[in-house]
């Protein structure tokens, strides 16, 4: 929905009072001051149609709005993109994929700033898009780097002028209902691009839908650019961040800014985060790893140095057999610990010799008893955290606390 349509609403209902809801309320106060508005939260059942427009936060499923005409339902992300001119959309870099979105968004934003361009991170990482709308319109930001989740993309009909699409494998099926629906949501990142607009894909990726934009394939960053002990040497990170190198090539920006960003770049918490060296072991927190495919990438990176892998979380029906194969192939001596969780049975059936543990304290005890010094110990759940934790951050914090207390 365009801002020009929003200001004509008889009333604005804002679904959700989190970051997105508060940003929408602030935006409407500034741009639609004479339109009555109301924040409605929490929402756990179908809402009544009393007229007016609903601005729905990404975390709230649209099924609760089935009785509201679609033309009166929107979201902050949709208002942002629908209200931009084509020239402005050309300076929005949308980043999506199943894994690696936030880190790639952060890296891209920092690299653009290092190149002397004024860029801001927004969307699913950074601040809500509506918070940067006015400054972007006023020219205070040259680029907006927008991380876009499947929740934000599922109803989007205006794509960013530049799209970076990292990877795609099944996730969030509890929300989208099927792999096909999840893929359709993700494809909205670039599906509505216009002729000659830009889509960047890693060289190992491809898409199966027809588009008007131009596909540019990127190659991985040279791992030697990173420090010898950096987890960003991993193949999947070099692949993801290589898309930013291709972006710089297309925008004719200096490669030196990429190299400078590499030297200064710090990853995000709970995303292959090295947080401790204790008991002569390296301890890692990759709590963001919520599916087996992401765990496989970690197993491949650590290889025979993998001392222990800690798995477990919410059961979303994932196939764990490829992870079992990766462990046998790349880290046959690794200790595999499975947390008591919804998905525990699935992991234990797929992975020979995996051991069930009740909690992180027991996991740390097993690690100290059964792994060698000099190895890497990695929390890489391969499943969402919602069965026992509020989110992956809470789970990662609990893991780090358990390691610290046992230190």
Spatial distance between the Cα atoms of 362 and 296, rounded to a whole number of angstroms: 24
Q: Are 24 and 74 in contact, with CB atoms under 8 Å apart? A: no
Q: Are 92 and 162 in contact, with CB atoms under 8 Å apart? A: yes
Q: Provide the pairing of β-strand 281-285 with 273-278.
A: antiparallel
Q: Are 1 and 82 in contact, with CB atoms under 8 Å apart? A: yes
To the nearest 10 degrees (0 to 180), the angle between helices 392-406 and 360-370 is 50
Tens-place pLDDT, residues 288-307: 999 999 999 999 999 999 99
Domain enclosing residue 223, as ranges: 80-264
The arithmetic mean of pLDDT across residues 208-236, rounded, is: 94
The arithmetic mean of pLDDT across residues 323-333, rounded, is: 97
Is residue 141 very low, low, confident or very high in pLDDT (cuts 50, 70, 90)? very high
User: Residues with Cβ < 8 Å from 61, sequence gap 6 or more?
Assistant: 175
Helix, strand or coil, per DSSP, at residue 266: coil
* Overall pTM > 0.85: yes
Same domain, 260 and 284: no
Spatial distance between the Cα atoms of 240 and 129, rounded to a whole number of angstroms: 23
Q: Are 160 and 95 in contact, with CB atoms under 8 Å apart? A: no
pLDDT score for 107: 98
Cis link prior to 42 (omega < 30° from 0)?
A: yes
- What pairs with residue 285 in β-bridges? 273, 379
pLDDT score for 229: 87
- Above 70 in pLDDT, residue 109? yes
Q: Assign residue 378 the CATH number of its domain.
A: 3.90.190.20
Same domain, 120 and 151: yes
Domain ends where: 202, 234, 264?
Answer: 264
The arithmetic mean of pLDDT across residues 190-212, rounded, is: 95
Spatial distance between the Cα atoms of 77 and 99, rounded to a whole number of angstroms: 20
User: What's the gap between Cα 97 and its chain centre?
Assistant: 7
Q: Which two tokens stand for residue 219?
A: 């190659």
Same domain, 392 and 318: yes
pLDDT score for 173: 66
User: Structurally, how many domains does the chain consist of?
Assistant: 3
Same domain, 49 and 138: no
Q: Assign residue 223 the CATH number of its domain.
A: 3.40.1190.10
Rg (CA), the chain: 22
Tens-place pLDDT, residues 231-260: 999 999 999 999 999 999 999 999 999 999
Same domain, 234 and 376: no
Same domain, 99 and 20: no
User: What's the gap between Cα 281 and its chain centre?
Assistant: 29
Same domain, 44 and 114: no
Same domain, 60 and 169: no
pLDDT score for 171: 74
- Above 90 in pLDDT, residue 326? yes
Domain ends where: 74, 99, 128?
Answer: 74
| Among 133, 114, 115, 113, CA closest to 123 | 133
Domain ends where: 223, 239, 264?
Answer: 264
Backbone angles phi, psi at 134, to 5 degrees: -65, -45
pLDDT score for 221: 97
User: Residues with Cβ < 8 Å from 206, sequence gap 6 or more?
Assistant: none
Length of the chain: 407
- Above 90 in pLDDT, residue 143? yes
State the chain's mean pLDDT as an integer. Answer: 96
Same domain, 326 and 376: yes
Q: Are 20 and 76 in contact, with CB atoms under 8 Å apart? A: yes
pLDDT score for 323: 97
User: What's the gap between Cα 68 and its chain centre?
Assistant: 29
Q: Which two tokens stand for residue 288?
A: 């963001």
The arithmetic mean of pLDDT across residues 365-392, rounded, is: 96
The percent of residues above 90 in pLDDT, for the chain, comes to: 93
Place of tokens 């020219």: 139
Same domain, 69 and 144: no
User: What's the gap between Cα 161 and its chain centre?
Assistant: 20
- What pairs with residue 121 in β-bridges? 145
Same domain, 210 and 308: no
Same domain, 86 and 219: yes
The percent of residues above 70 in pLDDT, for the chain, comes to: 100
């Amino acid at each position: 929905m365009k801002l020009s349509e929003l200001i004509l609403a008889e009333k604005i209902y804002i679904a959700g009072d989190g970051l997105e809801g508060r940003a929408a309320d602030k935006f409407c106060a500034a741009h639609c001051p004479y339109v009555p508005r109301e924040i409605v939260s929490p929402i756990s059942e179908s809402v009544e149609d009393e007229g007016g427009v609903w601005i729905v936060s990404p975390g709230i499923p649209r099924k609760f709005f089935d009785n509201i005409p679609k033309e009166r339902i929107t979201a902050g992300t949709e208002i942002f993109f629908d209200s931009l001119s084509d020239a402005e959309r050309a300076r929005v870099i949308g980043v999506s994929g199943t894994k690696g979105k936030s880190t790639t968004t952060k890296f891209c934003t920092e690299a653009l700033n290092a190149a002397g361009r004024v860029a801001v991170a927004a969307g699913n990482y950074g601040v809500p898009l509506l918070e940067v709308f006015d400054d972007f319109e006023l020219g205070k930001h040259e680029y907006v780097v927008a991380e876009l989740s499947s929740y934000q993309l599922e109803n989007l009909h205006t794509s960013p002028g530049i799209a970076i699409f990292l990877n795609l494998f099944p996730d969030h099926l509890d929300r989208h209902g099927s792999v096909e629906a999840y893929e359709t949501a993700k494809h909205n990142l670039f599906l509505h691009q216009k002729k000659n607009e830009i889509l960047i894909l890693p060289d190992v990726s491809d898409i199966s839908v027809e588009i008007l934009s131009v596909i540019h394939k990127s190659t991985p960053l040279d791992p030697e650019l990173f420090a010898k002990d950096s987890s960003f040497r991993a193949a999947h990170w070099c692949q993801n961040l290589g898309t930013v190198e291709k972006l710089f090539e297309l925008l004719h920006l200096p490669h030196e800014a990429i190299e400078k960003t590499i030297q200064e770049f710090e990853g995000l918490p709970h995303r292959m985060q090295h947080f401790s060296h204790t008991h002569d072991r390296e301890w890692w927190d990759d709590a963001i790893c919520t599916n087996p495919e992401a765990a496989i990438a970690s197993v491949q990176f650590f290889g025979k140095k993998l001392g222990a892998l800690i798995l477990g979380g919410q059961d979303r029906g994932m196939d764990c057999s490829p992870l079992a194969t990766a462990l046998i192939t790349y880290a046959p001596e690794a200790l595999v610990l499975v947390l008591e969780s919804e998905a525990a049975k699935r992991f234990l059936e797929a992975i020979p010799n995996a051991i069930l543990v009740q909690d992180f304290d027991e996991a740390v005890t097993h690690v100290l008893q059964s792994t060698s010094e000099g190895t890497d110990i990695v929390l890489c759940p391969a499943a969402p955290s919602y069965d026992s934790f509020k989110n992956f951050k809470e789970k990662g914090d609990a893991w780090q606390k358990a390691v610290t207390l046992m230190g």
